[in-house]
Amino acid sequence: MPKLRVHNFSISLDGYGAGPAQSEDEPLGVGGEALHEWVVATRAWRREHGMDGGEEGVDSEVVGAGTEGIGATIMGRNMFGPIRGPWPDEAWKGWWGNDPPFHHRVFVLTHHPRAPIEMEGGTTFEFVTDGIETALERAFDAAGGRDVRLGGGVATIQQYLRAGLVDELHVAVAPLLLHGGERLFDEPLAPPSGYEVIKFVGSGSVAHFWLSRSKQ
Amino acid sequence: MPKLRVHNFSISLDGYGAGPAQSEDEPLGVGGEALHEWVVATRAWRREHGMDGGEEGVDSEVVGAGTEGIGATIMGRNMFGPIRGPWPDEAWKGWWGNDPPFHHRVFVLTHHPRAPIEMEGGTTFEFVTDGIETALERAFDAAGGRDVRLGGGVATIQQYLRAGLVDELHVAVAPLLLHGGERLFDEPLAPPSGYEVIKFVGSGSVAHFWLSRSKQ
């Protein structure tokens, strides 16, 4: 069975997956970019983005695993861009330039309809206005038997977790405090949508935790 | 200058330093005991408690460091025992038996006065009813130039953190979810009582983070 997977989702030691006051200049909120320093330092991430170099080792393996077997992506509106409310025009096409690093269909959750955007390199952004379950169905269809990656941000992951729809969740705790923002585990993920930690590995830079649904 | 230090304070991945529903049977709340499995597995902890065996390595070194150079301890009422409100009698003498593993003066924060209790092995429990700063002064006096260890629980550590009185804080993130309880970082520790992560080490069992006051 294809799975819905979350990879490389970084939170601070005080639990925040994004800092306060998100904006176009600071898409991850104040201080939030530091959450992902360990990702961009890896060879896997640099290769994915067409660059040489980067560090090998646990972090790079973990980052690389996040794209393996993935056939479609789901993300929330806030991960796609800083615009809130209705789309003012067709100008905003994501944070990632003309050739985004997805190379498959990406489903963006929003309350505001918009026509799909075909990007270079095989990425298409499609806007889903009728809820997380519809987005998941469409993503599984698009993935054609492969898994679906749930990108973020915090609010989107929480919705899928509470509905018990996430199959695997990899969280990296970064050694920093954000002192505010969006907290990933802000409410207990109690049964029936319970999750448990099934694996832990500490690298030199961050602490990696893998979660899956609890056996009921 | 002698310091106020927190060591081996364990929190779950979802941020809780104790589970829900603390009681005499479950002093760390439901599921909370699992937070400390990594501690009791170490050689340092077992030696401290008069036992042979236990695992060597990072975790044991970290646990051992928690008693080095310590001359007095401060703890909250809830860490001392499950009794709330006025002391019904003199029967409760802590969770640790006749010879508690402190071997120095231990200051217990409470709203309810009680005479000091002299235990075996050099431990004395003294009850402080006039606030965290008085307890800290008395503990520094008792420590005679050595450092003071702040034991816990969550509420007590939070009080000292917010007052900016903690000099060093070691937090271990354990690979489990508690789904509720007392959250260590429940409110931002913003300046002027700001803290930052200065060191991170992942062992095979937990993720160790060391914090100190931010340079202002």
pLDDT per position as a tens digit, B172-215:
999 999 988 999 998 766 655 589 999 999 998 999 999 998 86
Compute the mean pLDDT over every residue in chain B, rounded to the nearest whole number. 93
Report the predicted TM-score, pTM, of the whole model to 2 decimal places. 0.93
Identify the burial level of B148 via C-beta atoms within 10 angstroms of its C-beta, where 0-12 means exposed, 13-18 middle and 19 or more buried.
Answer: buried
Beta bridge partners of A18: A182
**CB-based contacts of A130, cutoff 8 Å, min separation 6:** none
| All structural domains of chain B with their residue ranges | 4-213
Residue B216 has pLDDT above 60, yes or no: no
Q: To probe the interface with A, which of B193, B200, B206 has the most A CB atoms within 10 Å?
A: B200
User: B198 CA to chain A: closest CA distance, Å?
Assistant: 8
User: How confident is the model at residue A133, as a pLDDT?
Assistant: 98
User: How confident is the model at residue B114, as a pLDDT?
Assistant: 96
Q: Which one, of B123, B133, B139, lies nearest residue B73 by Cα? A: B139
Q: Which residues of A touch B (CB under 8 A)?
A: 13-15, 171, 173, 175-177, 179-180, 183, 185, 188-190, 194-197, 199-207, 209, 211
Residues of chain B in contact with residue A185, where contact means CB-CB under 8 angstroms, are 13-15, 177
User: How confident is the model at residue B191, as a pLDDT?
Assistant: 58
What share of chain B has pLDDT > 90, as a percent? 81
CATH number assigned to the domain with residue range A4-19+29-85+98-213, chosen from the 4 options 3.40.50.300, 3.40.430.10, 1.10.287.610, 3.40.640.10: 3.40.430.10
Residue B41 has pLDDT above 90, yes or no: yes
Give the integer Cα–Cα distance in Å for A182 and B19. 22
Residue B27 has pLDDT above 90, yes or no: no
Strand B70-76 versus strand B117-118 pairing type: unpaired
User: How confident is the model at residue B192, as a pLDDT?
Assistant: 54
Give the integer Cα–Cα distance in Å for B171 and A207. 13
Size of interface A-B (CB pairs under 8 A): 84
User: A18 CA to chain B: closest CA distance, Å?
Assistant: 14
Of residues A171, A175, A197, nearest to B209 (C-beta): A175
User: How confident is the model at residue B60, as a pLDDT?
Assistant: 97
- pLDDT-based confidence at B49, cuts 50/70/90? confident
Residues of chain B in contact with residue A197, where contact means CB-CB under 8 angstroms, are 13, 175-177
pLDDT 10s digits, B151-174: 999 999 999 998 999 999 999 999
User: A53 CA to chain B: closest CA distance, Å?
Assistant: 24
Low-confidence ranges of chain A (pLDDT < 70): 188-193, 215-216
Prediction ipTM score: 0.91
CATH 3.40.430.10 assigned to domain B4-213? The reply is yes
User: A58 CA to chain B: closest CA distance, Å?
Assistant: 12
User: How confident is the model at residue B189, as a pLDDT?
Assistant: 67
Binary contact (B197, A176; C-beta < 8 A): yes
- For residue B162, give both structure tokens: 């917010």
